[in-house]
Structure 1
């Protein structure tokens, strides 16, 4: 965005907003009134913020803005539990946000980048490459958008997973600034234990999370328990080999006294055999770890298929023999391209097909 673009207020943490208003000559009380308007009242426009001084409202109109995300495309699963949104950003980029309803709770999966540079071969987002990082306000904006949807039906949002498009630790500062807004007790006041950050294994970011004690649950996408097998699925594995990644994970557990969740996408015949399970169990057996096993979501650019149910059960049994607990993550929205990057790819394919051909 151009440097003279008015400040998006959603890009600012509460301290940063206070510093901005202080530079303009306003006291902390005015920051708190505005902050409450943004996140407690969830005003859609500056004119809707209650209790704001007239001169401050005018200054904000001149120097700031409320950056809004709009729905470009949406899809609903046949069971009514999954709602996928393709959101349009101010520069025309699109990102995905997925709302999932479970019994007694709602979960949203949000994006942290437009595209992704990690290149995981089975992931539609990884296949499209990275366009740019999202700003904190674009990350927070997805939460605000979903909360408005839920409010219409009397529901509330409980869980946030930073597991949509992009690698959160590749966009560390913006992602964690957004998390600061989510957990701010005067902001959205979300419980940190219900916020999960998923990384492909960016070692410097994991160590930084450990040192800073950021209030999130950590999930690491593993998918292979040897360097060769992992690198074939997750190219980032060539940059951060398993020995280095496991050292960072043990450092995180020791520093934070928190369990790490490891994600394992089960692909028939490629990483779902008894031998694969034993190798993974041996790798994680001495750690405070839990494995989320996820049967593959099919994508156009990858020829693998999901594991059969009996293979999933056997895989879990072998992990438990190593003392490693696991859970099969419930698959949602298969009928609406709910996997990361799939809806954007499908919409773009349809758009290309609809373009007029040259004479």
Structure 2
């Protein structure tokens, strides 16, 4: 990744609308990586990078300019070698090489589905692994990124939920997933091109492993970097954060990130949702919906997406469909109907196609968009709800999983 321009001209593109106002960063110098003793630039916000440069000896009057220069090289051009940053003085490049590094998570395996979906098994610090999925469509595509190793929510229909939470990802590990996908897709701009030329990762969804709102600060900082108009430059309307319903953090997400919001909803009664999405026992459906009503206004979003996995005989009746549209009345919304993607030992079955279509028809006639998501990447276990790092795949029996789900 060093064959980039010999100079760093200002990016020739129109920056997207900026994100909603954010809480100022605490300007603490990042910790050094124990493996190298250097600070990884990937994942540092502009404010944090400026503080780190000053700590390393950069004069304060130059620090803002240096941040802008480094930012373009790393996030606009995708350069990883300080020596290639030729608009920086040689002695400053030497300082950067001594004190900093540009490091991404390691791709362990890459699998490509028959439908073109790509799934990456990615190793992070400590030897832990997460999965990242790229879903192509019509020349562009959506990147599904992870925010935690494992998950603490234990949603009974989700494969990731059978893996215990190991740790949160850092902002650098989240941004790094976007960068490694751009590497693999060879989509970094070339000389004379704008940011949109050849762009393949056109949307990001925080729908991979983990609950993003239980790792709020790292997710916020990572998305600030991704949305920055002088780098990767994905507008906030192209980023969707999916949550199971961490009510206290939803308002923060609106004001500090400002991206689109998706709710892992999946049930129309507390009794069923308590089993499918156990966080409902803490913040029930009514509490969640009361909070969601303010999100479009606070975040300047057009609507909220309600994700609804179709489980045969569990949540797919006509009565469920009618309750759903009654519950969300007054909330600008669309309903994504997700045919259940089975995984080894799962205690559920996918609803019959005719039942899914009947459910969708009721929702549509009530005035809501109700697209049925086409399963993608099932042959490589990359579909929604199937992610789980290979080294953590506990071989639980179907009976054990069903017992945990209370079935």
Q: Please, what TM-score do these two structures have when normalized by structure 2?
A: 0.81
The aligned runs of 1:1-359 (5 Å cut-off) are 4-5=32-33, 6-23=38-55, 24-26=57-59, 27=62, 28-79=64-115, 81-151=116-186, 156-212=200-256, 214-258=257-301, 259-339=303-383, 342=386, 344-346=388-390, 348=392
Shift of the alpha carbon at 1:347? 5.7
Taking the aligned partners of 1:166 and 1:296, their CA distance within structure 2 comes to 18
Give the RMSD, CA atoms, in angstroms: 2.1
Q: Which residue of 2 aligns with 1:355?
A: none
Taking the aligned partners of 2:86 and 2:292, their CA distance within structure 1 comes to 46
Q: In the TM superposition, what whole-angstrom CA distance separates every residue of 1:185-221 from its partner, at most 9, and x where no partner exists?
A: 1111112211111111111111112343x23111011
Q: In the TM superposition, what whole-angstrom CA distance separates every residue of 1:157-179 from its partner, at most 9, and x where no partner exists?
A: 21111110111111111001010
Query: Against the structure 1 CA distance between its residues 211 and 292, is the aligned structure 2 distance closer, same or farther, given a 3 Å change threshold?
Result: same
Instruction: Verify the 8 A CA contact 1:115 1:166 in the aligned structure 2.
Output: yes
Query: Against the structure 1 CA distance between its residues 254 and 215, is the aligned structure 2 distance closer, same or farther, given a 3 Å change threshold?
Result: closer
Q: Secondary structure at the match of 1:326?
A: coil
Shift of the alpha carbon at 1:15? 2.3
Query: Against the structure 1 CA distance between its residues 308 and 50, is the aligned structure 2 distance closer, same or farther, given a 3 Å change threshold?
Result: farther
Instruction: Verify the 8 A CA contact 2:341 2:386 in the aligned structure 1.
Output: no
Q: Secondary structure at the match of 2:146?
A: coil
Q: In the TM superposition, what whole-angstrom CA distance separates every residue of 1:282-328 from its partner, at most 9, and x where no partner exists?
A: 10122111111101111224210111111111101111233332111
Task: List gaps (5 residues or longer) in structure 1.
Answer: 352-359
Taking the aligned partners of 1:189 and 1:345, their CA distance within structure 2 comes to 29
Taking the aligned partners of 1:152 and 1:283, their CA distance within structure 2 comes to 42
Q: Secondary structure at the match of 1:56?
A: helix
Shift of the alpha carbon at 1:57? 2.2
Taking the aligned partners of 1:345 and 1:267, their CA distance within structure 2 comes to 24
Q: Secondary structure at the match of 1:144?
A: helix
Shift of the alpha carbon at 1:349? 5.1
Q: Please, what TM-score do these two structures have when normalized by structure 1?
A: 0.91
Higher relative contact order (CA 8 A, sep 6+): 2
Q: Which residue of 1 aligns with 2:24?
A: none
Taking the aligned partners of 1:310 and 1:115, their CA distance within structure 2 comes to 34
Shift of the alpha carbon at 1:253? 2.5
Of residues 39-48 and 224-233 in structure 1, the stretch that sits farther from structure 2 once superposed is 39-48
Kindly tell me the number of residue pairs found equivalent between the two proteins. Answer: 348
Instruction: Verify the 8 A CA contact 1:124 1:345 in the aligned structure 2.
Output: no
Of residues 174-183 and 188-197 in structure 1, the stretch that sits farther from structure 2 once superposed is 188-197
Taking the aligned partners of 1:150 and 1:175, their CA distance within structure 2 comes to 23
Query: Against the structure 1 CA distance between its residues 344 and 283, is the aligned structure 2 distance closer, same or farther, given a 3 Å change threshold?
Result: closer
Normalized per residue, which structure has more helix? 1
